[in-house]
Amino acid sequence: MSKAKSGGTWETIKTVVVAMLIAGFVRTIAFEPFNIPSGSMIPTLLIGDYLFVSKYAYGFSRHSMPFSMGPEGGRVLERIPDRGDVVVFKVFVSKRDGLGRPVLDAQGRPIKDMVDYIKRVIGLPGDRIQVVGGILHINGQAVKRDRIEDFVELTREGNIMRAPQYVETLPEGRTHRIIEFQGDNGLADNTPEYIVPAGHYFMMGDNRDNSADSRFLDEVGYVPANRLVGRAEVIFFSGDGSAALWEVWKWPWAVRFSRLLDGIE
């Protein structure tokens, strides 16, 4: 009897280990789930969206591996992102204490954490990017921007959020929506001209007045190709945050059913 129990336990352990290895393999080379914790990509992505990111879309680097293991270097099977892709990438962000002050190491240097960002590819290597009066310019040409109905959403606190909304048409013809909470008077609505270095990309959030992105060179800046994680593909779940995990009776009203299985453009 004890041998049977021992054999059953060993089989269970093997099954769990194999399942974990398969899951890790899939997350490394195929798809990885991500959630959206901030509003920098509104209206395309909302806080509470959960999405799958294709890890193979641009090839593989150390950041395709769990915990970004391995040496810094190039990409294997590298593919070039298209302008307009929504991309997850790694950014080094200064660690801060409870008072918002940078945390320093023993040599007095800021300690940085590597975090995931999600933005839209706007500039390719060699491109000239500038924002003038809220209008995006690529290689000296103003990008077409058409005003549509305001973006309106009920926040988790029960407030109505409203912002001017536009459809932006990139040079290759791809379209996407953006919002401008501060109209064309935001902090980054008038910028210098940026020239994207070789092997780098220029990223911007669709929520133009509330996005830390490549316009801020000291925070994000130009994103190296080897820090790309993958391309956002589809929303597999979305919740509006109105129901806590234990409030099971509220779940049906907290799920944004209209967003389930939406492709990300």
Model pLDDT, residue 68: 56
The pLDDT confidence band at residue 109, using thresholds 50, 70 and 90, is: confident
Active site residue 144: no
191-220 pLDDT, tens per residue? 999 999 999 999 999 999 999 999 999 889
Model pLDDT, residue 217: 95
Please report, rounded to a whole number, the percentage of residues in the chain having pLDDT higher than 90.
56
Residue 154 has pLDDT above 90, yes or no: no
Active site residue 40: yes
What is the mean predicted confidence (pLDDT) over 91-101?
78
What is the mean predicted confidence (pLDDT) over 42-49?
95
**Residue 51 neighbours by CB distance under 10 Å:** 24
Model pLDDT, residue 64: 65
Domains parsed from the chain with CATH numbers: 2-259 (2.10.109.10)
Model pLDDT, residue 23: 46
Asked if residue 91 lies in contact with residue 117, where contact means CB atoms within 8 angstroms, the answer is yes
Task: State the DSSP string of 17-67.
Answer: HHHHHHHHHHHHHTEEEEE--SSTTTTTS-TTEEEEEETTBTBB-GGGSGG
Model pLDDT, residue 92: 85
Model pLDDT, residue 5: 52
252-262 pLDDT, tens per residue? 888 999 999 99
Nearest CA among 229, 41, 236, 233 for reference residue 122: 41
Of the residues 40, 61, 211, 238, only one is catalytic, namely: 40
| Strand segments (E) across 75-111 | 86-94
Q: How far apart are CA 124 and CA 200, in angstroms?
A: 7
Mean pLDDT taken over the chain: 85
Of the residues 61, 119, 214, 238, only one is catalytic, namely: 119
The pLDDT confidence band at residue 101, using thresholds 50, 70 and 90, is: confident
Model pLDDT, residue 248: 81
Model pLDDT, residue 251: 84
* Of 7-11, 13-17, 182-186, the least confident: 13-17
Q: Which of 11-25, 65-79, 174-188 has the highest mean pLDDT?
A: 174-188
What is the mean predicted confidence (pLDDT) over 7-25?
56
Q: Exposed/middle/buried for 169, CB within 10 Å: 0-12, 13-18, 19+?
A: middle
Q: How far apart are CA 233 and CA 264, in angstroms?
A: 5
Higher pLDDT, 241 or 51: 51
* Of 40-49, 88-97, 166-175, the least confident: 88-97
What is the mean predicted confidence (pLDDT) over 16-23?
52
Please report, rounded to a whole number, the percentage of residues in the chain having pLDDT higher than 70.
82
